[in-house]
């Protein structure tokens, strides 16, 4: 049932669900006392710099590092040949492929790691790089998947046994026969051929590693910019052959992640190997250029989408042929069974019975990756496609785009909704959200203004009504590198009634130290400020798969609620003992048990906690703690409707955003202030992708977009203001009804911006402009229309 806000039931002092509690983590950040990777210093620490390939595709004839090794201050130079001796020149990827750690036979993308210098000082390490002499024999570069699939294309992965072409994977979903039948009968077919370009999460803090292999004890401590420290520890153990019990991964404060800090990068492996061999700590921090040119990017999907419509403006089927640019290695961090991530959610918020997706991933001479940047495992691409298709379908059907959506939305009574590609949407009310957005945006008023705008400045109104899927994921279908995607919470209540909560997730700014404390506060009535939350240190937290794809609240949040309830059950036993009553005679209200009928006769959770250590009953274990590993029964499906109004200057192609209205429904909101912050950040990323962000390549495979002069990220001056609204449709299967929201706005909003520009120019014959919708592309589209 949809409501427009969830009201807290606890006091502000307790700060349970629904309170906009100020963040616990802020105190250190506002004093400049955050401890990010590069802030860590260990005695005897050495510094590593990586030599990278200047070219996109070349054979390595020789590497001469003698001059570099001779530079005073240089301790070692590591090459692929050296690593090969330890079987570390190649490593497995999270998608079942292998990736070069340091290049041996060939370089396969500009920026690929070729050698590493370890020195006493980072300036000296940088000085040594040009002294390494690499002899390259240039090869032709493949700069897009179509080139990679063309006859006679050079084979990029010639080292891979059994690889005879540049195909990384093929995959399909849905029902081809039913879809083909629907298209055969269709009254109208709407098509869209669109490229969702390569983009990069570019968190403000780049990736890095401080590896400390203690030669005396064999302990391996690795400070790592990691969104998934436990999974990384296990993978390090397997890849490097180190005993897992001796490995401690500490993911400290992270300056943003957005999926960029999920993969294991060659730099991490080299730094660890170097520390192992040299016996001193080795620190590696990448520069921004290294981050943009070589680490996990997002998107780069070529999508040919079609919608089949009946004669009344109803969608009857969807067909998609998708080709993805995987870069030189297939290294997507995504659930193993889904080779194209969760792209098959592309049927979106709409009710129709048939869909088919055929997907193919292709190797190119570019950095590996694709799943990153707040994409919920490719839901960004899926959502973009359907929302652009639906917009164009409305125009081609002679209907208003809002009216078309309303007509085709899944209805509230249809939930749980079985989509034609196998998803079971838990809950939703799309009509109410879109209605609210239209009212907040004064949709009718803007349509009227649009009618009146006929000069060189044109108004456009874009809508995106997205449904996304998060909370990976149930163990039947979801695993990453074989690890099931449960998550965990370990809670201990101390004698003085304070608590410590440890999680298998890892915040990069999402406010976990606050919101997860609020879940415990809700369940146990312990004031939020009495609860400390810890993440990131694999020695001190329970095993979890980490934070990305908006999974923390759906999975670890559920685990937190469940462990709190376990503890509440034990607390009942202790309370019964203290009150000399039977457990069945006790009632719970926030923070205390009392005897039914005698509300004065009660004990607080703090008194119970004290008793757990000082007065526990016979036959019951002392202490008050528990751990829960949560295996979610289903994904959760946050949704929303966004409306964007733009004004396009048709003389220059520049477009200005006049209004952004965003109505989001992420189920129950634990901390409304934090939820809104996530949405504002996501809307900004959506705007950025629609307006300016772009990683592209020239015909030689040179990366254009490998620094902030070329890869444009918006400042406060370009970024629009946002008006936020909410509906609350709880998830029926989640213990606290929450769905997760971190990526909703990044998923849903790009289409709203692009739809707005297309809406402004449709009457001029413009049917599509791919992102980024740069001024010259608008101008070009108008000229060509």
Partner 1 sequence: MYPASFGYSAPATLDEVLSTLSKLGDEGRVLAGGQSLIPLMKLRQAAPAHLVDINGVGGLDQISDSNGHLEIGALVRHADVITSEPVSRSVSTMASAAPWVADPLVRNRGTVVGSVAHCDPKGDWASVMLALDAQVVAKSMAGERTIAMTDFIVDFFTNSLEPGEMATALKVPKDVPNSGGTYLKLERKIGDYATVGVAAFLALDSAGKIARAGLGLTSVASLNVKATEAEAMLTGNEPSDELFAEAAESAARASSPSSDVRGPADYKRELVRVYTRRALTGAWAKARGEV
Partner 2 sequence: MLISVNVNGAEQQREVEPRKLLVDFIRSELGMTGTHIGCDTTSCGACTVLLDGKPVKSCTLLAVQANGRNVRTVEGLKQNGQLHPIQTAFKENHGLQCGFCTPGMMLVGSALLAENPDPSDDDVRWAISGNICRCTGYMNIVKAIQSAGQAMQGA
Enumerate binding residues for partner 2 (CB under 8 A): 22-23, 25-36, 38-39, 41, 123, 201-206, 253-256, 258, 287-289, 508-511, 673-674, 676-678, 680-685, 707-709, 713, 715-717, 719, 721-722
**Could you say whether residue 71 binds partner 1 (CB under 8 A)?**
no
The whole-angstrom distance between residue 138's C-alpha and the CA centroid of its chain comes to 36
Furthest-apart CA pair in the chain: how many Å? 86
Which of the following is catalytic: 227, 510, 606, 693?
A: 227
Residue 376 CB neighbour total at 10 angstroms:
31
Residue from 361, 544, 546, 653 that binds partner 1 (CB under 8 A)?
Answer: 653
Which of the following is catalytic: 346, 375, 666, 703?
A: 375
Helix residue spans in 209-252 (DSSP H):
229-240
Q: Work out how close the CB of 285 gets to partner 2 at its nearest, in angstroms, rounded to a whole number.
A: 8
375 is catalytic: yes
**Could you say whether residue 784 binds partner 1 (CB under 8 A)?**
no
**Could you say whether residue 255 binds partner 1 (CB under 8 A)?**
no
Distance CA 300, CA 378 (A): 10
**Could you say whether residue 86 binds partner 1 (CB under 8 A)?**
no
Distance CA 564, CA 542 (A): 15
What is the token pair recorded at 638?
A: 């946050």
How are the residues of the chain apportioned to helix, strand and coil, as percentages rounded to the nearest 5?
30, 25, 45
Complex with partner 1: residue 62 or 715, whichever CB lies closer: 715
> Coil, strand, or helix at residue 412?
helix
User: In the sheet where 106-107 sits, what is the strand order?
Assistant: 106-107, 58-64, 133-138
Residue 496 CB neighbour total at 10 angstroms:
11
Q: Work out how close the CB of 197 gets to partner 1 at its nearest, in angstroms, rounded to a whole number.
A: 12
Q: Work out how close the CB of 117 gets to partner 1 at its nearest, in angstroms, rounded to a whole number.
A: 13
In the chain, the N- to C-terminal Cα span, in Å, equals 46
Site for partner 1 in 678-697 (CB under 8 A): 691-692, 694, 696
Per DSSP, 350 falls in state B
The whole-angstrom distance between residue 321's C-alpha and the CA centroid of its chain comes to 24
Complex with partner 2: residue 656 or 764, whichever CB lies closer: 656
Binding-residue pattern over the window 121 to 150 for partner 1, x denoting contact by CB under 8 A: -xx--xx--x--------------------
| Size (the chain), residues | 785
227 is catalytic: yes
Site for partner 1 in 588-617 (CB under 8 A): none
Distance CA 71, CA 190 (A): 64
**Could you say whether residue 195 binds partner 1 (CB under 8 A)?**
no
Complex with partner 2: residue 22 or 581, whichever CB lies closer: 22
Q: Work out how close the CB of 777 gets to partner 1 at its nearest, in angstroms, rounded to a whole number.
A: 8
Complex with partner 2: residue 303 or 533, whichever CB lies closer: 533
> Coil, strand, or helix at residue 259?
coil
Q: Work out how close the CB of 779 gets to partner 1 at its nearest, in angstroms, rounded to a whole number.
A: 5
With CB under 5 to 8 Å by kind, the binding choice for 704 among partner 1, partner 2, none is partner 1
Beta-carbon contacts of residue 478 (< 8 Å; ≥ 6 apart) = 335, 337, 472, 484, 485
DSSP string computed for 513-564: HHHHHHHHHHHH---GGGEEEE-SBTTTS-----S-TT-IIIIIIHHHHHHH
374 is catalytic: yes
Per DSSP, 169 falls in state E
> Coil, strand, or helix at residue 300?
strand
What is the token pair recorded at 421?
A: 């590609």
**Could you say whether residue 702 binds partner 1 (CB under 8 A)?**
no
Complex with partner 2: residue 365 or 508, whichever CB lies closer: 508
> Coil, strand, or helix at residue 13?
coil
Binding-residue pattern over the window 221 to 250 for partner 1, x denoting contact by CB under 8 A: ------------------------------
Distance CA 241, CA 88 (A): 10
Complex with partner 2: residue 35 or 444, whichever CB lies closer: 35
**Could you say whether residue 710 binds partner 1 (CB under 8 A)?**
yes
Binding-residue pattern over the window 281 to 300 for partner 1, x denoting contact by CB under 8 A: ------x-------------
With CB under 5 to 8 Å by kind, the binding choice for 509 among partner 2, partner 1, none is partner 2
Helix residue spans in 279-337 (DSSP H):
288-294
Which of the following is catalytic: 52, 198, 374, 568?
A: 374
Total residues in contact with partner 1, by rule CB under 8 A: 28
**Could you say whether residue 715 binds partner 1 (CB under 8 A)?**
yes
Strand pairing partners for 193?
304
Residue from 270, 559, 612, 774 that binds partner 1 (CB under 8 A)?
Answer: 774
Backbone angles phi, psi at 143, to 5 degrees: -110, 0
Distance CA 539, CA 490 (A): 13
Residue from 654, 700, 735, 767 that binds partner 1 (CB under 8 A)?
Answer: 654
With CB under 5 to 8 Å by kind, the binding choice for 39 among partner 2, partner 1, none is partner 2
Distance CA 711, CA 706 (A): 6
Residue from 704, 763, 764, 765 that binds partner 1 (CB under 8 A)?
Answer: 704
Binding residues for partner 1, rule: CB under 8 A, are 122-123, 126-127, 130, 287, 651-654, 691-692, 694, 696, 704, 709-710, 712-715, 717-718, 774-776, 779-780
Please list the active-site residues: 227, 374-375, 743
């Amino acid at each position: 049932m949809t409501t427009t806000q969830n009201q807290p039931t606890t006091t502000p002092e307790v700060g349970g669900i629904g309170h906009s509690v100020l963040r616990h983590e802020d105190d250190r950040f506002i004093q400049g006392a955050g401890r990010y990777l590069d802030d860590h210093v260990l005695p005897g620490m050495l510094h590593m710099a990586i030599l990278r390939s200047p070219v996109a595709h070349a054979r390595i004839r020789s590497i001469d590092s003698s001059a570099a090794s001779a530079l005073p201050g240089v301790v070692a130079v590591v090459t692929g040949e050296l690593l090969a001796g330890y079987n570390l020149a190649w490593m497995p990827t999270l998608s079942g492929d292998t990736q070069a750690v340091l290049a041996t036979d060939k370089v396969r993308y500009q920026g690929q790691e070729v050698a590493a210098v370890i020195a006493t000082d980072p300036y000296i390490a940088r000085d040594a790089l040009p002294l390494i002499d690499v002899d390259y024999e240039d090869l032709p570069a493949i700069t897009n998947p179509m080139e990679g699939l063309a006859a006679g294309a050079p084979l990029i992965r010639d080292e891979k046994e059994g690889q005879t072409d540049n195909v990384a994977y093929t995959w399909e979903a849905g029902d081809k026969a039913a879809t083909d039948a629907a298209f055969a009968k269709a009254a109208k077919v709407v098509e869209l051929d669109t490229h969702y370009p390569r983009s990069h999460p570019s968190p403000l803090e780049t990736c890095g590693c401080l590896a400390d292999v203690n030669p005396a004890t064999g302990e391996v401590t690795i400070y790592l910019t990691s969104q998934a420290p436990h999974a990384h520890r296990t993978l390090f153990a397997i890849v490097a052959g180190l005993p897992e019990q001796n490995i401690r991964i500490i993911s400290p404060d992270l300056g943003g992640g957005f999926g960029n800090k999920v993969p294991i990068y060659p730099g991490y492996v080299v730094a660890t190997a170097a520390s192992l061999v040299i016996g001193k700590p080795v620190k590696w921090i990448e520069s921004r250029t290294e981050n943009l040119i070589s680490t996990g990017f997002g998107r780069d999907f070529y999508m040919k989408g079609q919608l089949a419509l009946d004669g009344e403006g109803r969608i009857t089927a969807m067909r998609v042929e998708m080709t993805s640019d995987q870069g030189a290695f297939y290294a997507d961090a995504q659930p193993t069974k889904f080779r194209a991530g969760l792209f098959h959610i592309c049927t979106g918020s709409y009710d129709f019975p048939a869909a088919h997706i055929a997907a193919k991933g292709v190797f190119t001479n570019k950095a590996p990756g694709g799943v990153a940047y707040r994409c919920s495992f490719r839901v960004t691409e899926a959502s973009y496609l359907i929302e652009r298709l639906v917009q164009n379908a409305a125009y081609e059907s002679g209907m208003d785009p809002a009216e078309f959506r309303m007509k085709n939305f899944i209805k509230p009574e249809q939930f749980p909704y079985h989509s034609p590609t196998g998803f079971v949407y838990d809950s939703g009310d799309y009509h109410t959200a879109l209605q609210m957005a239209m009212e907040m945006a004064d949709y009718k008023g803007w349509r009227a203004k649009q009618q009146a705008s006929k000069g060189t400045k044109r108004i456009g109104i874009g809508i995106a009504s997205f449904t996304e899927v998060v909370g990976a994921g149930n163990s039947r279908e979801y695993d990453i590198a074989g690890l099931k995607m449960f998550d965990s919470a370990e809670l201990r209540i101390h004698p003085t009634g304070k608590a410590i909560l440890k999680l298998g997730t890892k915040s990069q700014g999402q406010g976990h130290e606050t919101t997860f404390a609020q879940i415990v506060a809700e369940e146990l009535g312990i004031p939020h400020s009495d609860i400390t939350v810890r993440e990131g240190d694999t020695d001190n937290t329970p095993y979890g798969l980490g934070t990305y794809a908006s999974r923390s609240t759906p999975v670890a949040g559920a685990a937190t609620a469940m462990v709190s309830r376990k503890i509440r059950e034990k607390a009942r036993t202790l309370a019964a003992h203290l009150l000399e009553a039977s457990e069945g005679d006790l009632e719970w209200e926030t923070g205390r048990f009392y005897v039914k009928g005698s509300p004065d006769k009660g004990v607080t959770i703090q008194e119970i906690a004290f008793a757990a250590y000082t007065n526990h009953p016979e036959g019951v274990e002392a202490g008050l703690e528990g751990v829960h590993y949560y295996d979610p029964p289903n994904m959760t499906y946050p949704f929303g409707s966004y409306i964007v109004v733009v004004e396009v200057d048709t003389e220059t192609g520049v477009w200005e955003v006049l209004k952004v209205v965003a109505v989001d429904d992420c189920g129950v909101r634990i901390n409304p202030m934090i939820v809104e912050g996530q949405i504002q950040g996501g809307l900004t990323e959506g705007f950025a992708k629609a307006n300016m962000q772009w990683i592209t390549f020239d015909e030689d495979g040179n990366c254009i977009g490998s620094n902030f002069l070329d890869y444009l990220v918006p400042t406060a001056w370009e970024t629009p203001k946002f008006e936020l609204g909410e509906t609350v449709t709880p998830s029926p299967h989640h213990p606290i009804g929450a769905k997760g929201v971190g990526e909703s706005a990044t998923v849903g909003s790009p289409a709203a911006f692009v739809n707005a520009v297309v809406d402004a120019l449709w009457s001029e014959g413009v049917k599509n402009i791919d992102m980024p919708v740069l001024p010259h592309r608008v101008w070009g589209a108008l000229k060509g229309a």
